[in-house]
Amino acid sequence: MKPDAQFPATYILGREELDTDVLRAEMIEMTQAFMASCKNPGAILFECTNMCPFSSDVAEVSGLPVFDINTLINFFYRAAHPVPFLR
C-alpha cells in the first residue's frame, strides 16, 4: 500500500477512526495496481487478517479467487465436518 494509506495508519499505527469506505477504496486501488503489474495471476492471497472484510470487493475487481484466513478456516472445518450429501 501507499505510505500515506489509511489502511496501515488504522491497523498498524493504531489510528482510532475506521472509515470502511476509504479502506475499501484503498483495497480496490491496490488490486487494480496489482492486476496491471502482474502477468496472468491465478489467485490473490491476503497476508493480513484485516483485509478479509474486503475479499468480495477484491474478487469482483480482479476476477480472481481470493484466499484469506476465513477461507483457510472454512477449508479445515469442512475437511473435519464434511457435508452429508447422501443421508
What pLDDT score does 4 carry? 87
* Residue 17 cell numbers, joined: 477512526
Give CA angle at 31 (30, 35), nearest 5°. Answer: 120
CA 54, chain centre distance (Å): 5
pLDDT range class, residue 9, cuts 50, 70, 90: confident
pLDDT range class, residue 8, cuts 50, 70, 90: confident
Higher model confidence: residue 2 or residue 79? 79
* Residue 29 cell numbers, joined: 486501488
pLDDT range class, residue 17, cuts 50, 70, 90: confident
Task: Give the chain's radius of gyration (CA, Å).
Answer: 16
Is pLDDT at 87 greater than 90 in this prediction? no
Residues whose CB falls within 8 Å of the CB of residue 59, separated by 6 or more in sequence, listed in order: 44, 65, 66
* H/E stretch holding 45: strand 44-45
Is pLDDT at 79 greater than 90 in this prediction? yes
* Single pTM value for the model: 0.84
- How far CA 25 is from CA of 8, 29, 63, in Å, comes to 14, 6, 17
